[in-house]
Structure 1
Amino acid sequence: MQETEITALAVVGILIILDYITGLVKAAMQHDISSTKMREGLYHKGAFVLTMVLAEILEHAQRVIDLGYTLPIVIPAAVYVILTETTSILENLGGINPELKDSKLLQLFRTQEEGKDQ
C-alpha cells in the first residue's frame, strides 16, 4: 500500500468518526437523540468502510489477476467519501452553531454556484 493510499484511508476514517461525533452533538443539542437514527448512521458509515475495503481489494487484485482493467480505485473512492463526509460535518456544524451557517468560514467550503443561490 502506498503512502497516498494510507493517508487517504486515514483521512476517511477520521472524517467518518468526526461526522458521527458532530451528528451526535447536534442531536444532543436539539434533544433529538434516537437509537434508530444512530444505528442508521452507523450502517451508512459501515457501508463507506466496506466500500473502501472493496476498493483496496480490487486495486490490489488487478495487479495480480487480469480483471480486464487497471484503474486506480482507492483514491477516487476515498475522494467521494471525503467530500460526502465533509459536507455532512459542515451541515452538522451549522446545526450546532447556527451562526456558522452563513459565516465566511463555512463559505470557504461552498462552491460559487451554491453561493449564488443564497
Structure 2
Amino acid sequence: MDRTEMTALIVVGVMIVMDYATGLLKAVMQHNISSTKMREGLYHKAAFVAVMFLAEVIERAQQVIDLGFSVPIVVPAAVYITVTEVSSIIENLGEINPEIKGSRLLGLFRSDKESGAE
C-alpha cells in the first residue's frame, strides 16, 4: 500500500468518525437519541469500510492476477466516501448551530452548482 492509499484510508476513517460524532451530538442536542438510528448509522459506516476493504483487495489483485482491467480503485472510492461524509458533517453542523448553517464558513464547502451559479 503506497502513501496515497494509506492517506486516503486514514481520511475516510476520520470522516466516518467525525460524521458519527456530529450526528450523535446533533441527536443529543435535539433530545432525539435513537438506538435504531445509531445502529442504522453504524451499519452504513460498516458498509463504507467494506467498500474500502473491497477496493483494496481488488487493487492488490490487479497486481497479481489478470482481471481484465487495471485501474486505481482505492483513491476514487475514498474520494466518493469522503465527499459523502463531508456533506453529512456539514448538515449536522448546520443543525447543531443554525447560525453557521448559511454562513460563509460552511459556504467554503459548497460547490458553485449547489449555490445556483452556472
Q: Smaller-chain TM-score range?
A: over 0.9
1:65 aligned residue: 65
SS at match of 2:68: coil
Tell me, what secondary structure is at the counterpart of 1:69?
coil
RMSD over aligned CA atoms reads: 0.9
> Are residue 47 (structure 1) and residue 22 (structure 2) matched?
no
**1:111 Cα shift?**
1.2
| CA offsets 1:34-74 (integer angstroms, 9 cap, x no match) | 00000000000000000000000000001000100000000
Structure 2 unaligned residues grouped into runs of 5+ = none
Give the structure with the larger helix fraction.
Answer: 1
Letter in 2 for 1:96: I
Counterpart Cα distance in 1 of 2:42 and 2:114: 29
Deviation at 1:115, TM superposition (A): 1.4
C-alpha separation between the residues in 2 aligned to 1:110 and 1:51?
A: 25
> Matches of 1:69 and 1:113 in 2, distance apart?
33
- CA shift, 1:15, in A, is 0.5
In structure 2, the residue matched to 1:23 is: 23
CA deviation after TM superposition for structure 1 residue 112, in Å: 1.3
Flag as ranges the 4+ runs of structure 1 deviating above 3 A: none
Amino acid at match of 1:42: L
What's the TM-score, normalizing by structure 2? Answer: 0.97
1:103 corresponds to: 103
Report the secondary structure of 1:114's partner residue: coil
| Identical-pair percentage | 65
1 CA distance for matches of 2:35 and 2:10? Answer: 27
Once residues 14 and 83 of structure 1 are traced to their aligned partners in structure 2, the CA distance between those partners, rounded to angstroms, is 12
Q: Which residue number corresponds to residue 88 of structure 1?
A: 88
Q: What 5-or-longer segments of structure 1 have no aligned partner? A: none
Give, as a single letter, the amino acid of the residue that structure 1 aligns with 2:52: M
Q: How many angstroms apart in 2 are the aligned matches of 1:12 and 1:116?
A: 28
Amino acid at match of 1:97: N
In 1, Cα distance between the equivalents of 2:67 and 2:84? 28
**So what's the TM-score if we normalise by structure 1?**
0.97
